[in-house]
Structure 1
Amino acid sequence: MNTFKGKKLDKFVTKGGKKLRYGYTTGSCAAAAAKAGVIMLFSGKSISTIEIDTPMGWELELPVEDSVIDDKFASCCIVKDSGDDPDVTHSIRIYARVEESNEIGVEITGGEGIGRVTKAGLAVSPGNYAINPAPMRMIVDQIKKVLPNNKGVKVTIYSPEGKEIAKKTFNSRLGIEGGISILGTTGIVEPMSEEAMKESLALEISMIKERGIKRIIFVPGNYGRDFTFSILSQEKTEDITVKTSNYIGYMLDKAKEYGIEEIFIIGHIGKMIKVAGGIFHTHSKMADGRMEILAANCGYLGCSHSLIKKIMESITTDEAIGYIKEEIGYEVFKLIADKISEKCKIRTYDDIEIGTLVFSQQYGELGICHTGRRILEELRNE
């Protein structure tokens, strides 16, 4: 087994030609703090480091900070290191308070800064603290390694910074109130993990499904979200608006899996034009083709060779739209919206009714397909 000592893991992965460092999860921090707390409670002595095993198969040796010991409890914290992953919980302090219990065994609960689950559809049942099953097992397993025979403990996991940091996460939208979640199936943070990002986005569809809702709005990001709330009531649509980021294909697959019946896609032309060409991962590193797809559709409508040349030489879609508007107007964007909906319906094997609206920051609404127009009116009249 590999052992990594100190706060930083000396282990890397190469992505996109960059060497990126692994980190460790809030689950690993909680397990390490709890294990250290048990040792200190029963020994009466502070420790400076603690070793834990992770489900990944890596052993971590982590610094123990802010230790307190008295005759009733022991507490300490582990500072999270997310490596090179852009994680808002990087450097958060995860504490464990350990008290001896009259009952043999291990009891785990949450405290300040750990969120409580309020809605069904997550791995943790409503009413419980948001400590996911894998880290919960990890915490219990690590405690049992050092818990004296015939003894019991109550362990409270908490984080004073958790409530504020949770405001930068998806937690409130997922029905987790009052703090962060304790997460991590492997105990290790893989830097810039695309899978973790996709799973967190898909959780929103799961939550909507649990409420019995069959119609949702997909937006690629904040531009789409803001535009949606400019044309529809935020109060009525916020709970059914789901960000897809660059993973429109994956999110369509998950919507089909969860039994969603109708999707209204509202997106900036710069992202959504790619889907009109059958590109379902819209990050520029995967594929571009924006100008080629725009030019091809304008050519299909009989535009001039000079317009196609201007489009192909454009740096941004807004620049190209200026040229298109002058020569052939907005008809092409209705065609593009139709094609986006058609490609998405093919992706879902026609199991989902799909409408599309595309817009530009500079020009506003550009085009909407027939199904999108119907859904838009229905949402406005609800």
Structure 2
Amino acid sequence: MGRKPEGALRRGWTTGACATAATKAAAGALLGGEFPDPVSILLPKGDRPAFALAFEGRDPGPDGGAATAGVIKDAGDDPDVTHGALVLSTVRRGAAGSGIVFRAGEGVGTVTRPGLPIPPGEPAINPVPRRLITGVLQEAAAAHGLPADFEVEIAIPGGAALAEQTWNPRLGILGGLSILGTTGIVVPYSCAAWIASIHRGIDVARATGLEHAAACTGKTSEAAVARLYGLPEGAFLDMGDFAGGLLKYLRRHPLPCLTLAGGFGKFVKLAQGFLDLHSGRSQVDFAWLAERLAELGAAPALVEQARGANTAIQVLGLAQQAGLPLAEAVAERARTTALGVLEGAPVAVELLIVDRQGGIVARTGRLPGSLPGRHDG
């Protein structure tokens, strides 16, 4: 996630809201002959935004043909990968008694693993967007005295490439993006979407029977764990800065074994008791690091150097030059913080501190060696 700009930020709309608006416009054209533009929808919390149409199309084929409408996704000031994407909905009449059937068009993924709120084989259109889309279709049908039997296909051209920048491949959502949103509103730089992705990763790991997951702060630490263990892709959780969001969810939905891996500075903050490791929301306490060095028997001059240091890595380098196991001490305390958050949940926790080159500089709480697929030498 990029750095948050200063000042008031503009909200945006989720892919689910855009798909709902496009569906309402397409249904209006299919049943009434005209595309409403702009088209307004009612969101779960009472907001009623209006969306301009970016695309209108008709297919006069059999059984009444089909109508397609498109809306450009506006994520406001959020650095959302789908900002500016075209969200299309194609609506056609369904067979009598079929109800509303969802299809995945170009760029929308299909669920292939259990553990997500949508079962395998279904388009990756989440429950709230399904509910909103169903509502506008039922409303359109009732206005024309017709049964609500429709097939609705949601597409996002180019979505397959965009999905590679998301968690979808790891979650087993293949072929494109998910249609998401619980409120319909994108709050810029919100942590909620990232934390929700961590939760879904845990759900999928549990549902597919994985015994060991790895939660990493970034690509370097993830690569270090990948070299250490023979874990499948779905076992890796992109924790980022959200240690608290991960651990609190695992407390209620445990996995047998967890490897936490990250850089020294991040885990200094976890060792201090912080659960949000972002630089804007928690800071390394150099006096705290100096105290740890003093406990390890560092000379007073070294302790004072640490107290006035600029970075955690600088302090680690000083400790390494003096032959003092500061990384190991920090790892132990960080693991203690993690175990405290888990509150006795049946999760065995290992913690790795990884340097910028991907080397493991501290390791504590080694996991049982009997887990399948383990290659830790």
> Is the aligned partner of 1:93 residue 2:86?
yes
> Is the aligned partner of 1:140 residue 2:134?
yes
> Is the aligned partner of 1:280 residue 2:269?
no
How far off is 1:39 after superposition? 1.3
The 1:362/1:131 distance shift into structure 2, 3 A limit, reads closer
How far off is 1:214 after superposition? 2.9
> Is the aligned partner of 1:162 residue 2:171?
no
How far does the alpha carbon of each residue in 1:110-164 deviate from its partner, in whole angstroms, 9 at most, with x for none?
A: 2221111001111101111111111111011112222311254322111222111
Equivalent position to 1:297, from 288, 292, 295: 292
CA distance in 2, matches of 1:49, 1:74: 16
2:49 is matched with: 60
Letter in 1 for 2:279: S
Q: Could you say what the CA RMSD is over the residues aligned between the two structures, in angstroms? A: 2.4
CA distance in 2, matches of 1:27, 1:117: 16
Q: Is this contact kept in 2: 1:215–1:260, CA < 8 A?
A: yes
2:102 is matched with: 108
> Is the aligned partner of 1:307 residue 2:296?
no
1:354 is matched with: 349
CA distance in 1, matches of 2:368, 2:101: 54
Name the SS for the 2:374 alignment partner.
helix
> Is the aligned partner of 1:27 residue 2:16?
yes
Letter in 2 for 1:74: A
Residues 39-78 of structure 1: pairs in structure 2 closer than 5 A: 39-71=28-60, 72-78=65-71
CA distance in 2, matches of 1:29, 1:53: 12
How far does the alpha carbon of each residue in 1:26-48 deviate from its partner, in whole angstroms, 9 at most, with x for none?
A: 11111111111111123333443
State percent identity of aligned pairs: 28
How far off is 1:319 after superposition? 2.0
Q: Is this contact kept in 2: 1:41–1:73, CA < 8 A?
A: yes
TM-score normalised over the length of structure 1: 0.88
Name the SS for the 2:9 alignment partner.
strand
CA distance in 2, matches of 1:287, 1:55: 34
CA distance in 1, matches of 2:355, 2:376: 25
The 1:45/1:347 distance shift into structure 2, 3 A limit, reads closer
How far off is 1:259 after superposition? 2.2
Higher strand share: 1
Name the SS for the 1:113 alignment partner.
coil
How far off is 1:106 after superposition? 3.7
1:338 is matched with: 332
How far does the alpha carbon of each residue in 1:329-359 deviate from its partner, in whole angstroms, 9 at most, with x for none?
A: 1422222222222222222223332221212
What residue ranges of structure 2 are gaps of 5+ in the alignment?
none
The 1:144/1:238 distance shift into structure 2, 3 A limit, reads closer
Greater mean deviation of Cα atoms: 341-350 or 96-105: 96-105
> Is the aligned partner of 1:197 residue 2:184?
no
Q: Is this contact kept in 1: 2:247–2:338, CA < 8 A?
A: yes
The 1:377/1:355 distance shift into structure 2, 3 A limit, reads farther
Q: Is this contact kept in 1: 2:228–2:376, CA < 8 A?
A: no
Letter in 1 for 2:303: I
2:252 is matched with: 257
> Is the aligned partner of 1:178 residue 2:175?
yes
